[in-house]
Structure 1
């Protein structure tokens, strides 16, 4: 088949340049790609304005556009809801991972089916956002008028909580992916070892449940672990490289998930953004890059919120994960984490490996692949 042409198959998928099919869960969030399962096509990718263009394999997956080299090694992941068309109507199509003015990445695609699939997602996202019109003007004017009249009674906190409660999943994921891009400018690009990422996904599925969170291992910026809107949890590479068992990383992931459950990370972002930016997000579905840049710095600097020992032990018990390795990782002496050690819900004699040995070795080498 000619290069740059995508193809669908009904049986097991062939390797590039033929198309490969894989059932996608993206339909849970939007119906734009219900007729697609997985599509691959060739493209030309430029990572920065002064970088040389590279031949890549472009594939549509679960809410992401994956760019891989010709040896099937992932180079980068773009959030599908955030993909921006640079030359509407022209061919070959030019796409960028966001509409930021300083965005330097560009992807060139010639294949018609791949272009149509990406455009369909973009149209669906656009339709899901409020559009300018008389109704929006009336509603916006009403909201602003009420905000002025009842400024004393309707506290800004109420607006923040209301906005966080009504934001759709697609908006949360889009904001989370944009924020992840800005965090990784400081923390470094997430480690992308193929086998390591597969093992990381298995660890996340084991301790949190399938598809609950998107885990990413970073080299710097995050002392241990941190979380972002959209179910994203960042893990410092030391948690998988410096310990002999995955129980330590699992403990930090559990603790970070508890923090995200206790306090909505989107609410924290809106609190940082302020009332005006929150109202804009509520009415237009957009938030500025400047606010995300500022909040990304705060996420990396803020110390983690304390999680009660009782809550931690209950979660460790629920998922059958030992708390002792995590306790000693937090405090090598064990003095401040003694309750987690003494009340460990899973005795060592009853503990089961969280990962197979091969997966644990792959996870430890995730930043070296």
Structure 2
């Protein structure tokens, strides 16, 4: 055991005479007491035969301050004892006892330090991990109606930067008719006056389209392509999660418990969205999605890059060029009504 050896480094071998009693009823017997690396040994002085071995960590002095010093291998039941009056031996044993006490205390302190560090680490984990975990949970369990509420709150804030949603009835009717065919039965498409360079997906299967696409393209194919791309670029749960991260932990908890958000939960988020690059899906996913709806990829590609250089793979993979029968999205009257959605 390292501690006793360290405590007795100046001694090659520490021995002294002592009086040993095997049981309370036994007579005292003269012995040689020897301190080893981990034991206190009582030996017969005539034959050097060991009579008893005690574990040093368990050795206890039962009469502190008195002579001769009396030791027992078990302080709780001192049946076996040895009496020693040699000062050097007593000092050696006492030094061993102090070394053992220190040896025991250090791991105890270490455990305390480890416990404190563990508590700090757990607190840090709760501080930095738990809030985001709760927000992710709120986004994951939000039903469609709650997600739509979040999306409408985002749209309301976005209107501060992009202008009020265009609400001409005839144009919105066209959007409400075509949206289920393009992007899903529950999809809602809204148009804002400001240019968005495409479409953005908001929580709750809500899509916002810039009027610039309607005003500058010869037909509805480009706008339809941007709506399909927006659907493929961002999952609805991801859009909800991004919005809730902006709203913060308290709003996420409020949503889970009350089903509502505070009035200013999405304040500033619309401007943040507009400052970010428009999410684009993997180009390889677009031709199959366009082909399913009978759409050409070229109008969409040309609306991104009129030269076609940056979107050449999309143009070359155009489903219509590959033989897909083109669908007619809107009549001329419907397209005209959609183009005028922001006209008062």
Q: Which moved more, 1:194-203 or 1:330-339?
A: 194-203
**Contact 2:196 2:212 (8 Å CA) reproduced:** no
CA RMSD across the alignment: 2.5
- The 3 A distance-change label for structure 1 pair 267 and 193 is same
* TM-score (normalizing by structure 2): 0.59
1:364 paired with 2:329, answer no
* TM-score (normalizing by structure 1): 0.55
The corresponding residue for 1:42 is none
**Contact 1:176 1:232 (8 Å CA) reproduced:** yes
- The 3 A distance-change label for structure 1 pair 203 and 151 is same
1:331 paired with 2:305, answer yes
Secondary structure at 2:200 match in 1: strand
**Contact 1:221 1:300 (8 Å CA) reproduced:** no
1:185 paired with 2:169, answer no
The corresponding residue for 1:261 is 235
Deviation at 1:215, TM superposition (A): 0.6
Structure 1 stretches lacking a partner, 5+ long: 1-146
The corresponding residue for 1:343 is 317
The corresponding residue for 1:5 is none
1:242 paired with 2:216, answer yes
Secondary structure at 1:272 match in 2: helix
- The 3 A distance-change label for structure 1 pair 356 and 269 is same
**Contact 2:200 2:207 (8 Å CA) reproduced:** yes
- The 3 A distance-change label for structure 1 pair 221 and 335 is closer
Deviation at 1:222, TM superposition (A): 3.0
**Contact 2:199 2:227 (8 Å CA) reproduced:** yes
Q: Distance in 1 between matches of 2:175 and 2:223?
A: 10
Secondary structure at 1:281 match in 2: helix
Show the 5 A alignment for 1:1-369.
151=126, 154-209=129-184, 211-220=185-194, 222-261=196-235, 264-347=238-321, 350-369=325-344
**Contact 1:164 1:267 (8 Å CA) reproduced:** yes
Deviation at 1:231, TM superposition (A): 1.5
Secondary structure at 1:250 match in 2: helix
Secondary structure at 1:151 match in 2: helix
**Contact 1:202 1:355 (8 Å CA) reproduced:** no
Tell me the alpha carbon deviations over residues 131-181 of structure 1, each in whole angstroms, 9 at most, x when there is no partner.
Answer: xxxxxxxxxxxxxxxx95962895544322211111122222222223222
Secondary structure at 1:264 match in 2: helix
Q: Distance in 1 between matches of 2:137 and 2:178?
A: 34
Q: Distance in 2 between matches of 1:153 and 1:293?
A: 23
**Contact 2:174 2:337 (8 Å CA) reproduced:** yes
**Contact 1:206 1:354 (8 Å CA) reproduced:** no
Q: Distance in 2 between matches of 1:175 and 1:153?
A: 24
Tell me the alpha carbon deviations over residues 285-339 of structure 1, each in whole angstroms, 9 at most, x when there is no partner.
Answer: 3333333112122122211123111112221122221111000110011111011
Tell me the alpha carbon deviations over residues 73-106 of structure 1, each in whole angstroms, 9 at most, x when there is no partner.
Answer: xxxxxxxxxxxxxxxxxxxxxxxxxxxxxxxxxx
Q: Distance in 2 between matches of 1:311 and 1:279?
A: 36
Larger radius of gyration: 2
Tell me the alpha carbon deviations over residues 209-238 of structure 1, each in whole angstroms, 9 at most, x when there is no partner.
Answer: 4x3311111101634322221211111111
**Contact 1:247 1:325 (8 Å CA) reproduced:** yes
Structure 2 stretches lacking a partner, 5+ long: 1-121
Higher helix share: 2
